[in-house]
Amino acid sequence: MRVLIAAPGSRGDVVGFVGLGRRLASAGHEVTVAANPEFEQTVRVGGVAFRRLAGDARTIADLGTGPRSSLRFLAEQAEAMTTYLCGAADDLVEAAAHADVLLVTMTAQFGVDVAEGHAIPSAGLFSRPVEPTRAFPPVLFHTARSLGPAGNLVAGELARLSTTPFHRASAHVRAVMGLPRRSPVASLRRLRVTRWPVWHGWSPHVLPRPVDWRPGLEVVGYWYPYVPDSWEPPADLAAFLQAGPAPVYVGFGSVGPGQGERLSSILAEALRRSGTRAVVGRGWARLEVAGDDVLVVDDVPHSWLFPRTAAVVPRRSPAGSPRP
Amino acid sequence: MTRPEMRRAAARLAERIAGDDGAGAVVAALERLGRGDRARVGLG
C-alpha cells in the first residue's frame, strides 16, 4: 500500500515517524513522510520518500517574550498557527491524491478531512493524549493537578474544542476540496461515532491507557527515530565525554527561537552555580554557553547520548520529549 | 526511596518499555487493511 504520513511541525514532530515509516517500508509498504522542507534530508536518510509541506514551524514557536496570557498574545499565536496549518494543508491535499491510506500526526489533524475528500482511510498517530478522560486534566492545561473525574472530563472537552487553528485548518480543507461544512462539535462527534482509530506513541508502562477512552484509541509504545548504524559522534563530543565525569544534558528542542540570548544567560548562570559539566543542545533557540565544562551540540541521537549522561533536563512539552 | 532502589525501579521500567512495539502495532493494523479487512482495522 502507498502509506502517507503527514508530519508537519518541528523536529520532534517528525523524527519518530521516520523510524515508523522505515518499519512500515520493511513490511512492504510504499511509505512517504510529508513534512516541512528542512526535514527532507532527515526523512530521506531514513530510507522513505519525502513530500514537502509548506511552512517553517519557527513561525509558530517564535512569538516573543511578552506575557503569555495576554489576549493579544493568544490572538497572534492563533493567527500564526492557522496560517501555518493552512499552508501545510494545501500541500497535503495534493500529496494525498497519490496515497492509499493517510496517517496523521497531532499537528496534521486536518488530514482527517483530506482523507475524506480523497475517499481514502485515515488514522491518527498521536504523541499526546488529547481525548478527554476522567483520569487526568487536559495536557493543554500544562498541569498534572486533577480537577476531579468530572472536572477533568469537562475541561478535556473544552480543551478539545478550544484548539481553534486546527478547526480553521479543517474548515479550509473542506472548502478547498468541496466538502460540506462541518462544525468542530460535529467533527469530533463523527470521530467518536466512527471509532476513528488513533495509535498513541508512548509506553503504557509510563502512562496507561485511560479506562474510559472509547474503542479505537490505543496506547502502543514509542516510535523511535532512525539512527543509521554508521552514525558516529562528532569528535569534540566524544572527547568531551571522555575528559571527565558524565555530564548533564540540557536541551529545549524547538522551544524559544529568538530567545537564545536570554535562555543562554539563564543556563550559563545555572551551570556556573551548580558546577555541573553539561552538554547543551543548541536547538531552535540557538543556545550558546561558553566554558571548559560545557559543550554545545547540534542534533545528536538521544538514544546514543543519554546513556552517557548523569541526568537529562529536557523541555517540558511532551510532544518532543526525549524518548528512551 | 533510596538511590539504589530508584536505579532498580528505573531499570525495570526501561525493560518493560523495551518490550513495547509501537511500530509493530501500526504495521499489524495496516496488514489487516491490506487484506481488505477495513472494518476490523477501524480506519475512518
% of chain A at pLDDT higher than 70: 95
List the beta bridge partners of residue A105: A125
* pLDDT score at A315: 76
Indicate whether A202 and A243 sit together in one domain: no
* pLDDT score at A17: 97
Indicate whether A189 and A296 sit together in one domain: no
* pLDDT score at A318: 43
**Within a domain: residue A132?**
no
Q: Could you list the residue range(s) of the whole structural domain that residue B25 is in?
A: 3-41
Indicate whether A42 and A109 sit together in one domain: yes
Indicate whether A199 and A289 sit together in one domain: no
**Cβ atoms of A222 and A128 closer than 8 Å:** no
* pLDDT score at B39: 54
Using the structure block, give the residue that is written with the C-alpha cell 477495513.
B38
* pLDDT score at A235: 96
Neighboring chain B residues of A203 at a CB cutoff of 8 Å: 16-17, 20
* pLDDT score at B16: 95
Indicate whether A106 and A201 sit together in one domain: yes
Q: What is the pLDDT of residues B2-42, one digit of tens each?
A: 989 998 999 999 999 999 999 999 999 888 877 766 555 55
Nearest to A284 by CA among A321, A261, A266, A257: A257
**Within a domain: residue A322?**
no
Q: How many structural domains does chain B have? A: 1
**Within a domain: residue A224?**
no
Q: What is the pLDDT of residues A230-246, one digit of tens each?
A: 999 999 999 999 999 99
**Which residues contact residue B8 at a Cβ distance below 8 angstroms, ignoring those fewer than 6 apart?**
none
Nearest CB partner across the interface for A221, out of B21, B33, B41: B21
3-state secondary structure of A125: strand
Residue A220 pLDDT greater than 70, yes or no: yes
Across the interface, whether the CB atoms of A223 and B34 are under 8 A apart is answered no
Q: What is the CATH number of the domain that holds A268?
A: 3.40.50.2000
- pLDDT confidence tier of residue A316, bands split at 50, 70 and 90: low
**Within a domain: residue A156?**
no
Neighboring chain A residues of B35 at a CB cutoff of 8 Å: none
Q: How many structural domains does chain A have? A: 2
Indicate whether A28 and A114 sit together in one domain: yes
Rounded CA-CA distance A253/B18 in Å is 24
Note whether A203 contacts B: Cβ–Cβ < 8 A: yes
- pLDDT confidence tier of residue A61, bands split at 50, 70 and 90: confident
Indicate whether A76 and A204 sit together in one domain: yes
Q: Which of A101-110, A155-164, A170-179, A297-306 has the lowest mean pLDDT?
A: A155-164
Q: Which of A166-170, A219-223, A246-250, A285-289 has the lowest mean pLDDT?
A: A285-289
Q: Which of A172, A192, A219 marks a domain boundary?
A: A219
Note whether A118 contacts B: Cβ–Cβ < 8 A: no
Residue A314 pLDDT greater than 50, yes or no: yes
* pLDDT score at B43: 63
Q: Measure CA A223 to chain center.
A: 12
Indicate whether A100 and A209 sit together in one domain: yes
Rounded mean pLDDT, A15-21? 96
Across the interface, whether the CB atoms of B25 and A199 are under 8 A apart is answered yes
Indicate whether A94 and A241 sit together in one domain: no
Indicate whether A239 and A215 sit together in one domain: no
**Within a domain: residue A204?**
yes
Rounded CA-CA distance B16/B40 in Å is 28
**Within a domain: residue A273?**
yes
Rounded CA-CA distance A294/A279 in Å is 6
Q: Could you list the residue range(s) of the whole structural domain that residue A7 is in?
A: 2-127+163-219
Q: What is the pLDDT of residues A91-103, one digit of tens each?
A: 999 999 999 999 9
Rounded CA-CA distance A68/A259 in Å is 14
* pLDDT score at A319: 41
Indicate whether A256 and A196 sit together in one domain: no
Nearest CB partner across the interface for A20, out of B16, B26, B43: B26
**Within a domain: residue A244?**
yes
Note whether A146 contacts B: Cβ–Cβ < 8 A: no
**Within a domain: residue A18?**
yes
> Complex ipTM, two decimals?
0.86
Per-residue DSSP letter, A146: -
Rounded CA-CA distance A82/A56 in Å is 13
- pLDDT confidence tier of residue A186, bands split at 50, 70 and 90: very high
Indicate whether A185 and A67 sit together in one domain: yes
**Cβ atoms of A281 and A306 closer than 8 Å:** no
Across the interface, whether the CB atoms of B30 and A24 are under 8 A apart is answered yes
The sheet carrying A248-251 orders its strands as A294-297, A278-281, A248-251, A311-313
Mean pLDDT of chain A: 91
